[in-house]
Homo-oligomer: A and B are copies of this chain.
């Protein structure tokens, strides 16, 4: 069976009974497993992680809209996190036996159905984007719900599906397909946050570094250590070991060593396998047939 992951972000992080109903809508959809969910009151936002095949995920996301659309009113919504809609962002991620193309097709199918059934304008993003200008979520979301009417009226921002005007209470949605995101932090053997910031600037894509790295330097106050905090947005093309080695080398420039690294949340097995292959110099290895657990599931 092809397994796809979806991580819908919903603009409700304060009313426990609504959050419970949103989670229930996902969990009760046959063929879907809700792996995790968390709500943030200051962001006023909840994030759900679920897996299933394409058909089951489509049903689950539609069930989520059925709860979210009548309950959430963006006109009165406030929170720290940028958002354009009640169901703000819905990415689909290939996990096992599914390709990026499968996820793009699913994103378009769900987007068309959401636009049709709820009269919500939908933008496709990342690998499902219709133009390069719509790949980045930040660009689509700029102006937020409050600027949405004006944005949708511009020729450049005609939505990929649905009306060219915001849904009065549910705004718009951003639906797409992307690689799994890895939250990866490297702690430095120093309390100099300026070193962490310089390293972050050297390795991140936006300032000239690696293509699929987002990074910033932060201070871990309770331990008095500086951290390079990262999101790796495509572990196949920018693998963990290359990021680690580049941070290590940049740190040497300041006489700083790596204390430890940490993976926050989930990581695909292949992202760690490839690091083992790199450091152990393993040649001719085919995980699909040689990793015992993989052969059990063929």
Which residues does A use to contact B, with CB under 8 Å?
Answer: 3, 5, 33, 35, 51, 95-96, 180, 240-241, 244, 258-263, 265-269, 272-273, 275-285, 290-296
Question: Chain B contacts of A278 at CB under 8 A?
Answer: 279
Shortest Cβ distance from A257 into B: residue: B281
Question: Chain B contacts of A259 at CB under 8 A?
Answer: 281
Within the complex, which residue of B5, B263, B273, B285 is in contact with A262, where a contact is CB–CB below 8 Å?
B285
Question: Chain B contacts of A266 at CB under 8 A?
Answer: 290-292, 295
Shortest Cβ distance from A186 into B: residue: B281
Interface centre among A279, A284, A292 (most CB of B within 10 A): A292
A95 x B276 contact (CB < 8 A): no
Shortest Cβ distance from A268 into B: residue: B292
Within the complex, which residue of B240, B262, B283 is in contact with A284, where a contact is CB–CB below 8 Å?
B262
Once A260-B282, A284-B262 are accepted as A-B contacts, the answer to whether A291 and B276 lie under 8 Å apart by CB is: no
Question: Chain B contacts of A276 at CB under 8 A?
Answer: 240-241, 272-273, 275-276, 279
Within the complex, which residue of B258, B260, B275, B296 is in contact with A95, where a contact is CB–CB below 8 Å?
B296
A273 x B282 contact (CB < 8 A): no
- Copy number of this protein in the oligomer? 2
Shortest Cβ distance from A272 into B: residue: B276
Complex Cα–Cα for A265 and B285 (A): 9
Once A273-B269, A275-B276 are accepted as A-B contacts, the answer to whether A282 and B296 lie under 8 Å apart by CB is: no
A240 x B280 contact (CB < 8 A): yes
B291 x A272 contact (CB < 8 A): yes
B292 x A267 contact (CB < 8 A): yes
Shortest Cβ distance from A93 into B: residue: B292
Complex Cα–Cα for A261 and B279 (A): 10
Complex Cα–Cα for A264 and B187 (A): 36
Complex Cα–Cα for A96 and B96 (A): 19
Measured CB to CB, the closest approach of chain B to A279, in angstroms, equals: 4
Shortest Cβ distance from A273 into B: residue: B272
Question: Chain B contacts of A258 at CB under 8 A?
Answer: 281
Within the complex, which residue of B51, B272, B296 is in contact with A296, where a contact is CB–CB below 8 Å?
B51
Measured CB to CB, the closest approach of chain B to A270, in angstroms, equals: 9
Question: Chain B contacts of A277 at CB under 8 A?
Answer: 272
* Chain A to chain B contacts (Cβ below 8 Å), 13 pairs: A5-B292, A244-B279, A263-B285, A267-B292, A268-B293, A269-B269, A269-B293, A272-B273, A272-B277, A273-B276, A275-B276, A275-B279, A279-B279
